[in-house]
Amino acid sequence: MLADLIREFLDYLALERGLAANTLESYGRDLHDYDTFLNQGARGEDPASAAAVMAYLATLKAAGRSNATLARRLAALRAFYAYLGRYHGWAFNPIRHVESPKLERKLPHVLTVAEVEAILTQPDTRRPAGLRDRAMLELLYATGMRVSELLALRLDDWSAEPPRLRCRGKGGKERVLPVGEVALDLVERYVRQGRRYLLRGRDPGLLFLNRRGGRMTRQGFWKIVKKYADQAGIRKTITPHTLRHSFATHLLERGADLRAVQELLGHADISTTQIYTHVSRGRLRQAYDQAHPRA
């Protein structure tokens, strides 16, 4: 029913808006799910009616889908119907008066400085893969970049003189990040001593390579982080994003300006960055409760 329009919309997001592949995949999956719902059996729902959207949401709720899933599906539909109104003259937007479910904002998992250091020192830097792993972990914690941004880095995005890193964030937006000396030294060592052993006869131009000389996947890097966290004896829930959360929290705990942290993280809205102030206050309260004799 909507398949052709969905394909056109995804092409628009890719070509005009420059959205990342992961975002496009998510939009496509959600919208095709909605289209499948409309085409099921004798439902005969009109895609331009609010009743169709409400029936779809009711089906998702009955299936036990979380509020986060409902909110994401609504966001995809909202963008899709806005596109149809603008480029196809659809006069009625069935999403206009549908409210997104309220989401409980969960505080991110954060490591202590000691736990981060324990993870960072696990890779065996005498081996090319270990040197690569150490450089990736150091760079992730030193810059707070997203994992997708780390894996997309190209060799020419990196500069030792002056020390800087060009990073492509959501929507293709670029930002230049400062890099600390420790991460700088590790990446330089990896480029000089380790990277060539991972090339396998080809060079895709990426800064960090997998064992076959190609681009590392998010799942592959997640396994690397988990392996070193296990070796360090850390039993917390750890993902690659945990180092990004820890980066932001540790900066704010040491007095960094919230706006500066927002710029470093590449957040479009400072309200997204403010969640780390709640983490910092929570850790401060915990330290107070543990240390003060009359807490």
Q: Tell me if 229 sits within 8 A of 119, measured CB to CB.
A: yes
Q: Which residues contact 52 (CB under 8 A, 6 or more apart)?
A: 38, 45, 46, 94
| 284: its two tokens | 């401060």
Q: Which residues of 278-292 are buried (b: 16+ CB within 10 A; e: fewer)?
A: ebbeeeeeeeeeeee
Q: How far is CA 257 from CA 135, 253, 260, 262, 263, in A?
A: 27, 10, 5, 9, 10
Active site residues: 146, 170, 241, 244, 267, 276
The candidate with the shortest Cα–Cα distance to 244, out of 123, 149, 135, 129, is 149
- Residues 6 or more apart whose CB falls under 8 angstroms from that of 176 comprise 164, 165, 166, 167
What does the DSSP 8-state code read for residue 55? H
Q: Which one-letter amino acid corresponds to residue 180?
A: G
CA dist., res. 28 & res. 7, Å (int):
8
Backbone angles phi, psi at 44, to 5 degrees: 55, 30
Residue 250 in tokens: 């540790």
Burial of 70 (0-12, 13-18, 19+ CB in 10 A): middle
